[in-house]
Amino acid sequence: MVDLLLGLQWGDEGKGKIVDVLTKEYDIIARFQGGPNAGHTLEFDGIKHVLHTIPSGIFHKNAINIVGNGVVIDPVIFKRELDNLQKFNIDIISKLLISRKAHLILPTHRLLDAASEASKGKAKIGSTLKGIGPTYMDKTGRNGMRVGDLEFDDWKTKYRALADKHEAMIDFYNAEIEYNLPELEAEFCEGVETLKKLTFIDSEEYIFKAQAEGKKILAEGAQGSLLDIDFGTYPFVTSSNTTAAGACTGLGVAPNKIEKVLGIFKAYTTRVGSGPFPTELFDEDGATMGRVGNEFGATTGRPRRCGWLDLVALKYAVQINGVTELMMMKADVLSGFKTIKVCTAYDYKGEKIQHLPYNIESEYVSPIYTEMKGWAKDLTKLTTAEELPTALNDYITFLEEQLQVPIKIVSVGPDRLQTIRR
Ligand code: GDP
Ligand code: IMO
Ligand code: MG
């Protein structure tokens, strides 16, 4: 039995927190796509943890964590993540397993990412500069290096050939980026040595067996549906399938083995990086969401753009993923707004529409809002659904009716314990 947990917006919905909350109900937590562009935050016992590649179940003794074949790994960042975990006495060798088929991010992939972005000028994607795009390009171009390659003596020869090719490509961009490759390579080799100490597995085989034994598996998504390479706001997307189908290809899970699809969304919307965002606010309300929600990227520290909830886009994400249960995050951030707005339709070239059109740039699309009453109550100390203010319950009921999916969790703060089940 496999359940999926996915972000339904532009990422940073709070996936890390909810995976951590749910891990005690699962035997295996498996990341299926993305790489260190992700930043998943967990908070408990007064400590905040940010994970980039390592699944968010790592702090629980009961679960095995798998980095699946669909993930791209930067050994340098991976080593840093492991170093940060050292003080928590986690048995990494037996609790963290790495797919041999996961692709490696080389230092030159990062440089290519920077060169590509620099060459785009104003049209840049706003990538996290972690080398994600170039690494997935090498994967689909059939040039990539994989974790399994590191078990063979000739991996450095493969590495050299690929890095040399990348250097020529960097020259082609003619971008002014400065770098010291030998230094970056020394750091990379150090990361590889750390990575090689871990347990490499044929993860699809491991997952088949786990399923046969009746183990419960939770697939942890990264990014969000609107950043999906096929269904997101292309080209302002990431380079993997962040939607449900990505879990099939990123882990080797058959579609008919998927049970629940848990969709996570914020009670409002944020986006980091470039690209269209119909409900984006440039006023005091947007600034309040950013300030109260502490909306800064967990990976890059960039301020996140903020706006009202976009139900047109959320409905689209629910459909693409086949979401069976919803979880609404950061409800506490909306406390104090007199009026809450929800985008329920778009004005698209003068016509009112309720689906996501091909192009949602502000030139063509403007949001049509439904207004609801806000609530003043501080939610951060609440623990049961009965304590939620009426106006928030009305907001929740409205969303459930619109989306036709139950909202099972309402999150009211970053800590593990600030989680209300309904
Ligand atoms: P992820 O990438 O989906 O795991 O989300 P991030 O960790 O990048 O961003 C979510 C941010 O919101 C983190 O700083 C979390 O600690 C925080 N967070 C999660 N849930 C809540 C919530 O219900 N209320 C508040 N105020 N913060 C939350
Ligand atoms: P988590 O898992 C939010 C955004 C970047 C950029 C675009 C492409 O923490 O939700 P990339 O580096 O992937 O080539 O960048 O995608 N982006 C994210 N935004 N959360 C993330 O991950 C993101 N990962 C990538 O800001 O706009
Ligand atoms: Mg994040």
Output the residue whose Cα is nearest ligand 1's atom 2: 12
Kindly state if the Cβ of 133 falls inside 6 Å of ligand 2.
Answer: yes
d(CA 295, CA 288): 10
Report the separation in Å between the CA atom of 415 and the middle of ligand 3, taken as the mean of its atom positions: 15
- pLDDT confidence of residue 179: 93
Spatial CB neighbours of 177, under 8 Å, sequence gap ≥ 6: 111, 114, 115, 118, 170
Ligand nearest to the Cα of 14, by number: 1
Q: Hey, how many other C-beta atoms are within 10 angstroms of the C-beta on 242?
A: 35
- Residue 224 Cα: closest atom of ligand 1: 3
Percent of the chain with pLDDT over 90: 98
Kindly state if the Cβ of 412 falls inside 6 Å of ligand 1.
Answer: yes
Kindly state if the Cβ of 272 falls inside 6 Å of ligand 2.
Answer: yes
47-51 and 40-44 beta bridge pairing: antiparallel
- Residue 16 Cα: closest atom of ligand 1: 4
- Residue 48 Cα: closest atom of ligand 1: 16
Q: Which residue in 58, 59, 68 sits closest to 2, CA to CA?
A: 68
Active site residue 40: yes
Report the separation in Å between the CA atom of 238 and the middle of ligand 2, taken as the mean of its atom positions: 6
Ligand nearest to the Cα of 15, by number: 1
- pLDDT confidence of residue 300: 87
d(CA 119, CA 121): 6
pTM above 0.85, yes or no: yes
d(CA 170, CA 131): 13
- Residue 43 Cα: closest atom of ligand 1: 16
Q: What angle do CA 33, 37, 41 make, to 5 degrees?
A: 95
Cα→Cα distances 299→184, 206, 246, Å = 20, 30, 22
Kindly state if the Cβ of 329 falls inside 6 Å of ligand 2.
Answer: no
Length of the chain in residues, anyone? 422
Output the residue whose Cα is nearest ligand 2's atom 27: 273
List the chain residues with pLDDT less than 50: none
Kindly state if the Cβ of 39 falls inside 6 Å of ligand 2.
Answer: yes
- Residue 418 Cα: closest atom of ligand 1: 23
The answer to whether 44 and 415 are in contact (CB under 8 A) is: yes
d(CA 356, CA 99): 36
Candidate from 242, 299, 305, 330 with most ligand 1 atoms within 8 A of CB, to mutate: 330
Report the separation in Å between the CA atom of 182 and the middle of ligand 3, taken as the mean of its atom positions: 31
d(CA 244, CA 240): 11
The answer to whether 45 and 80 are in contact (CB under 8 A) is: no
d(CA 46, CA 49): 10
Ligand nearest to the Cα of 240, by number: 2
- Residue 411 Cα: closest atom of ligand 1: 23
- pLDDT confidence of residue 176: 85
Residue 138 falls in which region: left (phi positive, over 0), alpha (psi -120 to 50) or beta: alpha
d(CA 228, CA 239): 7
Report the separation in Å between the CA atom of 39 and the middle of ligand 1, taken as the mean of its atom positions: 10
Cα→Cα distances 316→207, 231, 277, 323, Å = 30, 9, 15, 10
Output the residue whose Cα is nearest ligand 1's atom 11: 14
- pLDDT confidence of residue 394: 98
Ligand nearest to the Cα of 13, by number: 1
Active site residue 378: no
Kindly state if the Cβ of 13 falls inside 6 Å of ligand 1.
Answer: yes
Q: Hey, how many other C-beta atoms are within 10 angstroms of the C-beta on 366?
A: 12
Helix 75-85 with 181-196: angle, nearest 10 deg: 50
Place of tokens 């796509």: 33
Q: State both tokens at 310.
A: 């976009």
Kindly state if the Cβ of 222 falls inside 6 Å of ligand 2.
Answer: yes
The 10s digit of each residue's pLDDT in 228-248 is 999 999 999 999 999 999 999
Catalytic choice (3, 20, 40, 310): 40
Which residue type is seen at 388?
L
Report the separation in Å between the CA atom of 411 and the middle of ligand 1, taken as the mean of its atom positions: 9
- pLDDT confidence of residue 97: 98
